[in-house]
Amino acid sequence: MDSEIKEEVPVHEEFILCCGVETQVLKCGPWTNLFNEPRANRPKLLIFIITGNPGFSAFYVPFAKALYSSINRRFPVWVISHAGHALVPKGKKILTTLDDSNAQEINDIYGLQGQVEHKLAFLRTHVPKEVKLVVIGHSIGCYFNLEILKLAPELPTHIKHWPCVRP
């Protein structure tokens, strides 16, 4: 029965040009563009998942669906790939924004610091400032999250530290 619920979870795949690089974003829930939503209908919170290596977003779909279901579908859950780690299928449209002005500023978009700046540029371009963030990272994605928080303390993030539980 639990798997039936997860199958019903809407997942929207987008390829976005972020910092001049094609980026895959998987979105659970009906919200695909938070800026197009009337302010009253915008979710108050976004759960944002940054992948570990190799940056393959589809690996996280079962987790994102389960998380979205467990919060009773109240808030969107988005998963972002690493810059340059996802191939756009033939015929798939790449979405662009006028605000993608950070492409010139990132010298090594495929390097460690470039990946951090890529995620930060995405958040600044695609998430309204009043939407609170819960950031989740797997492996190197955790490092990216910590670096984003250092570079942009103004982001409205909620951080929860779960201590290691040892038997």
SS3 for 75-93 is CCEEEECCCCCCCCCCCCC
CA–CA distance, 33 with 107 (Å, rounded to integer): 28
Q: What's the chain's length in residues?
A: 167
Q: Give the homologous superfamily in CATH for domain 9-30+41-86+106-159.
A: Alpha/Beta hydrolase fold, catalytic domain (3.40.50.1820)
Express as a percent the part of the chain with pLDDT over 70: 85
Kind plus residue range of the DSSP H or E element containing 4: helix 2-7
Contacts of 40 (CB under 8 A, 6+ apart): none
Q: What are the extents of the domains in the chain? A: 9-30+41-86+106-159
pLDDT digits over 97-121, tens only? 766 654 556 889 999 999 999 999 9
Provide the angle, in degrees to the nearest 10, between the axes of the packed helices 140-151 and 112-126.
60
pLDDT digits over 37-77, tens only? 888 888 999 999 999 999 889 999 999 999 999 999 999 99
CA–CA distance, 134 with 157 (Å, rounded to integer): 6
